[in-house]
Amino acid sequence: MFWKGRRASVNVEDRRGRSVKRGMVGGGVGTIIIVLAIYFLGGDPSQLLNTVQINDSEIASTYVGTAEEEELAQFVSVVLAETEDVWTEMFSKQGSKYEYPKLVLFTDSVQSACGYAGSATGPFYCPGDYKVYIDLSFYNELQERFRAPGDFAMAYVIAHEVGHHVQTLLGINEQVMSLRSRLSEEEFNRYLVRLELQADYLSGVWAHYADRMNLLEEGDIDEALNAASAVGDDRIQKAARGYVVPDSFTHGTSEQRKRWFYKGFTAGNLDEGDTFGVESL
């Protein structure tokens, strides 16, 4: 990706090097709520804002990253800025205003409005505070664990999480959460998968405009497709346990994730991203 010299976003919170003391989340619910919020989108954003009381404390420390890490932090900031530009224009065309999310860089663990999370959780979006959280060490995990190298693989991850923010602003997340009490766990899980695939589609829409702005290098889309495939539920479950359990999928198969990202990339609009109107994914 041709990113150097481009505008960096001012909506980045650098919390690297801070230690987090875990407490409890409001109402007596333990910090495990973050797992539910991330993997199952467990709660309406307004409910999170109204009920979550953060009692944890963060202790700041002087943090100095390696030159490689600082360059990656700059890259992430530029990608966020590019998503800001694209979604501001897309929302404006629909007669609405795009509210910028913030991106939080952290080391090892972090406290969000959704609760406590460690690096093992991976990048996530919290609808309770409109923030994307990422430990930059995930870039190495993409390369080593998931075998998805390349800067645009990381750009895809960021764009996917920003896609969840777009869903929140459009009210899609709230609509899906309203179905929770009316569906079985298996049925509701299918909707969660569709949310994730739609976020993949939205990341593809962003890539479409990044390509039109001549930001993409040869092979960038292949890097994104490889990353989308690498984080498919079937591939991850197969590697972890030797078999897959489709009813437990939360993000979609490798094939589905690749297909919906590429569909967004080729379409470049919101019109064809309705995963909920598709009978068979």
Q: Judge whether 4 lies within some domain.
A: no
The 3 state secondary structure assigned to the chain is CCCCCCCCCCCEEECCCCEEECCCEHHHECCCHHHHHHHCCCCCHHHHHHHCCECCEEECCCCCCCHHHHHHHHHHHHHHHHHHHHHHHHHHHCCCCCCCCEEEEECCEEEECCEEEEHHHCCEEECCCCEEEEECCHHHHHHHCCCCCCHHHHHHHHHHHHHHHHHHHHCHHHHHHCCHHHCCHHHHHHHHHHHHHHHHHHHHHHHHHHHHCCCCCCCHHHHHHHHHHHCCHHHHHHHHHCCCCHHHCCCCCHHHHHHHHHHHHHHCCCCCCCHHHCCCC
Are the beta carbons of 21 and 54 closer than 8 angstroms?
no
Residue 16, domain member (yes or no):
yes
What does the pLDDT read at residue 240? 85
Is the residue at 1 inside a domain? Answer: no
Q: Is residue 156 part of a domain?
A: yes
The domain of 217 spans 12-277
Predicted local distance difference test score (pLDDT) of residue 277: 78
pLDDT, tens digit only, all 281 positions of the chain: 999 999 999 999 999 988 776 543 332 223 333 444 444 444 443 443 433 444 444 444 577 789 999 999 999 999 999 999 999 999 999 999 999 999 999 999 999 999 999 998 899 999 999 999 999 999 999 999 999 999 999 999 999 999 999 999 999 989 998 888 898 888 888 899 999 999 999 999 999 999 999 999 999 999 999 999 999 888 888 888 888 887 778 888 999 999 999 999 999 999 888 888 776 66
pLDDT at residue number 279: 63
> Does residue 2 fall inside a structural domain?
no
Determine, yes or no, domain membership for 73: yes
Is 191 part of any domain? yes
Q: Is residue 239 part of a domain?
A: yes
pTM for this prediction: 0.85
Number of domains composing the chain: 1
Alpha carbons 162 and 176: distance in angstroms, whole number = 18
